[in-house]
Amino acid sequence: MVNIILRPAGVWKSDQAGFAQGVKSRRTETVFIAGQVGIDASGNIVGEDIGTQVKQSFENMKMVLQEAGASFSDVAKLNVYLTNIGDLAKYSEIKATYFTDGLPASTVVEVKNLARPELKVEVEATAVIE
């Protein structure tokens, strides 16, 4: 197999839903992180507000990055899906607390729905490890 599947203990067991939380290429030092949402290790949605869900998304991403031997400073690209583009300012404020070494390239789009109706944000990332 070319890729290593990342399933850190602190993130809900996505393999039960048919996808991996992240994939690390064995051929390059690139890590592809699946969309992270406001779901805790028990599979429960955390909070009804955007701030709580954004924080959980980045905490989940942090665990996947650590499992791959990476950190937020290795993230080169983010794709962000918001169910309300009006939440962009709050999302950006929280994102800045995780990316203290500079911001990655980002794409943000508003979507009608995410995988579960209670979810307000999903963040996926690509990291390149030096």
The domains found in the chain, sorted by start residue, are: 3-128 (3.30.1330.40)
Sign, CA torsion 34/30/13/101: negative
Q: pLDDT tens across 49-91, in order?
A: 999 999 999 999 999 999 999 999 999 899 999 999 999 999 9
Q: pLDDT tens across 85-129, in order?
A: 999 999 999 999 999 887 888 899 999 999 999 999 999 999 988
Distances (CA, A) of 54 to 24, 34, 63, 70, 92: 23, 15, 14, 20, 9
Q: What is residue 14's predicted lDDT score, i.e. its pLDDT?
A: 53
What average pLDDT score do residues 41-52 get?
A: 94
Residue 13 has pLDDT above 70, yes or no: no
Distance CA 103, CA 127 (A): 12
Q: Are 66 and 55 in contact (CB under 8 A)?
A: no
What is the separation of C-alpha 115 from the centre of its chain, rounded to a whole number of angstroms?
14
Q: Are 11 and 63 in contact (CB under 8 A)?
A: yes
